[in-house]
Chains A and B, each alone.
Chain A
Amino acid sequence: MAYNLKEVAKKPERFTGGHRMCAGCGAPVVARQILRALKPEDHAVIGSATGCLEVSTFIYPYTAWKDSFIHNAFENSAVTVAGAEAAYVAMKRKGKISGDTKFIAFGGDGGTYDIGIQSLSGAMERGHDMVYVCYDNGAYMNTGIQRSSATPKYADTTTSPAGKEIPGKQQWRKDLTEIMVNHHIPYVAQTAAIGNMKDLYEKAEKAIYTKGPAFLNVLAPCPRGWQYNTPDLMELNRLAVETCFWPLYEVIDGKYIVNYKPKNKLPVKDFLKVQGRFKHLFRAGNEQMLEEIQAEVDKRWAELLRLAGEEA
């Protein structure tokens, strides 16, 4: 059946309102849409790393999660859910439980690219039937906007401040999606909540219902860390995709598919200039930095097209 947001939104809510995520945050939009991809009859065990998503959705004695939920620590969301999946396999084999349960682990970029990468790598390599979702907002937002290996170059964060001598973070982002592709798992995708969120929904559905490990890297803008007006969330997502800063693509059993090629690829500065964390790049004399970022975006986009067997 063709995707229809109105229909999808009628499904029973599995991630309820009343949680304490910020207005204009990308993460709850992503989590809610991903859970909509679950079949109503399927139960889910959902895990989250310590981070904004966890501390704002499960404050004792309240929870925003209608399915079973587990938070363990910062770096072990993947293996905690993998442990639950192992329990499911064993208990099903022994006839102790019935029905289908799906396993979804969430983590921010800090909990995924950095402190949790070992746990994630191990869980994916071992082939647990689960989905790992990284909601990538490009810094440790929960502790107050510290740089991570997902933070874009030159971004102003509280541990890579744009100072008089050093203009923000000095390193390029780690390409986690490619690292996960190189685990040779059945399904890896990069997505964002753009438009009617069809791309996000369909990838979540594939990830959840592909047997074996799957990984989703989802852009999740942060109004505090990125410094944008909260109503502009969806515009930020759109600009990230239209500039090819955040290409939408998937890798199914090793085959690359670029899901969206902008007809008119926008300059990356259109994405950067609406964010306070890049404000210093737009001062006179810093044009070189913008050019550097543009060159890097172009290089990575060209490489992705090459991997997908497409022309730029």
Chain B
Amino acid sequence: MSIRERMSGNEAMAVAMKQINPDVVAAFPITPSTEVPQYFSTYVADGVVDTEFVAVESEHSAMSACVGAQAAGARAMTATSANGLALMWEVLYIAAASRLPIVMACVNRTLSGPLNIHNDHSDSMGARDSGWIQLYSENNQEAYDNMLMAHRIGEHPDVVLPVMVCQDGFITSHAIENIELLEDDKVKAFVGEYKPEMYLLDKENPIAVGPLDHFTHCFEHKRQQAQAMMNAKKVILEVSEEFYKLTGRKYELFEEYNTDGADVAIVVLNSTAGTAKYVADQYKAQGKKVAVIKPRVFRPFPVDEIAVALSKYKAIAIMDKADSFNAAGGPLFTDVTSAMYAKGVLSPKVINYIYGIGGRDVKSNDIEKVVEKLFEISGTGKVDEVYNYLGVRE
């Protein structure tokens, strides 16, 4: 019997960490993820976990300590947001290239500047090419569930990559909602023991990690890393299927909502997908169909699957809560459209909306504007602007 509770998204992630009971947690406070290490240090202080909690002096050191700990043979975890993630940047790449399956709770927040503590996706989107698997979460339940699956995915021998679980700062990290938790013993059995093939603390088989890797071997190592990310897709689906059997909660590479008979679709990450689903329901009540596609797995990017899924629509709006400042479109837009082009899916008209930057509230009537635009494009077959901003004064 699962446990019915109510808690914030941050607490949900912290509870997942408690149930995982990792060997090392190294973290540094930054809004809005601060609560995660706060909750966790309480578990440590109360002796309900036997983790070594390292209260480091910066996020750079948080990620560096995780690298040292994971390489040593430990399961290491951290949590951060925005500038904290940016300060980790250098070490994110090293963690991935060193094939260390560290797990991070990333509570999405606007990356400075200007300084802004509210939610957008500029932090994790910036880290999208760091070699980390990225899982996005609509609400506290998904944040919790993704955390429970993260180690299984990252530690799989075909993968061995770090995993970042993202949720929206404040919107879901601080909002208290109902949640279904798994019992501790079920989590323990599902996550399992960490048994690395090679680790620093194996005194019988000492190893060396982090070489100077010249052009004679570096390319092969990066190619293997790329293969690991390719392999991750299958592993994510397998782990998600096992999780479904355990919990009844189904997760795939992306969620498709209200797709039957719809000519138009919105592609959107994290909490705004909830708002989009609400708007889709409102239209449905009026006999109009709007599909919502919510990517859960952004890295690896589900190129084939998303191109196929989107091929049936006449008009698609891809919504980015991060700008790329490339005068062309946000990161989700460029990845989705390149997937469609590469797979020969050329018939849908596709537009991009940059929305919610710096935590600008996105209401149902904002989404309605997007839907109306999609209906217009679907009807006329004409696109005036591809790269658009939603809800900004200009």
Contact = CB atoms under 8 A, between A and B. Distances in A.
A binds B: yes
Interface range, A side: 35 or more
B52 interface: yes
B72 interface: yes
Interface stretch (A117-125, A145-153, A168-176): A117-125
A71 B211 contact: yes
Contact of A79 (B52, B56, B213): B56
A82 B54 contact: yes
Contact of B211 (A60, A90, A126): A60
Contacts of B214: 59-60
Contact of A118 (B51, B57, B67, B208): B57
Interface stretch (A93-101, A240-248, A276-284, A302-310): A93-101
B217 A90 contact: no
Interface in A71-116: 71-73, 75-76, 79-91, 93-94, 96-97, 99, 101
Contact of B72 (A87, A99, A118, A122): A87
B64 A83 contact: yes
Contacts of A265: none
Contacts of A80: 64-65, 67-68
Interface in B154-210: 200-203, 206-210
A191 B216 CA distance: 39
Contact of A90 (B74, B90, B200): B74
Contacts, number: 166
A63 B55 contact: no
B94 interface: yes
A11 B371 CA distance: 76
Contacts of B209: 68-71
A197 interface: no
Contacts of A47: 68
A60 B213 contact: yes
A94 B201 CA distance: 14
B60 A91 contact: no
A38 to B, nearest CB: 12
A45 interface: yes
> Size class of B's contact patch?
35 or more
A268 B211 CA distance: 39
A58 interface: yes
Contacts of A86: 23-24, 26, 52, 54, 65, 68-69, 74
A84 B68 contact: yes
Given A80-B67, A82-B54, A87-B24, A70 B208 contact: yes
Contacts of A65: 208
A251 B177 CA distance: 55
B91 A73 contact: yes
A88 B18 CA distance: 19
Given A86-B52, A89-B52, A121-B57, A58 B208 contact: yes
Interface in B197-242: 200-203, 206-214, 216-218
B70 to A, nearest CB: 8
Nearest to A75: B60
Contacts of B60: 75-76, 118-119
Given A70-B209, A76-B61, A90 B24 contact: yes
Interface string A240-278: 000000000000000000000000000000000000000
B391 interface: no
Interface string B64-106: 1111111111101000000000000011001000000000000
A90 B73 CA distance: 10
A123 B56 CA distance: 8
B231 to A, nearest CB: 23
Contact of A84 (B201, B212, B217): B201
A87 B211 contact: no
Contacts of B66: 83
B67 A59 contact: no
B55 A76 contact: no
Interface string B93-133: 01000000000000000000000000000000000000000
Contacts of B70: 83, 87
A70 to B, nearest CB: 4
A79 B61 contact: yes
Contacts of B54: 82-83, 86, 126
A101 B206 CA distance: 11
A60 B91 contact: no
A71 B94 CA distance: 10
Contacts of A61: 211, 217
A128 to B, nearest CB: 8
Given A83-B64, A87-B73, A93-B50, A72 B57 contact: no
Given A43-B206, A58-B210, A90-B52, 10 more contacts: A45-B201, A58-B211, A60-B217, A60-B218, A73-B91, A76-B64, A83-B24, A83-B54, A83-B70, A119-B61
Interface of A: 43, 45, 47, 54-55, 58-61, 63, 65-73, 75-76, 79-91, 93-94, 96-97, 99, 101, 118-119, 121-123, 125-126
23 contacts: A45-B72, A45-B201, A59-B214, A68-B206, A68-B208, A69-B200, A69-B207, A73-B91, A75-B60, A80-B64, A83-B67, A83-B68, A83-B72, A84-B68, A84-B201, A86-B54, A86-B68, A87-B70, A90-B52, A96-B73, A118-B57, A122-B58, A126-B56
Q: Considering the complex of A and B, which 7 residue pairs feature the smallest CB-CB distances, nearest first?
A: A83-B68, A83-B65, A87-B74, A122-B57, A87-B72, A43-B203, A71-B210
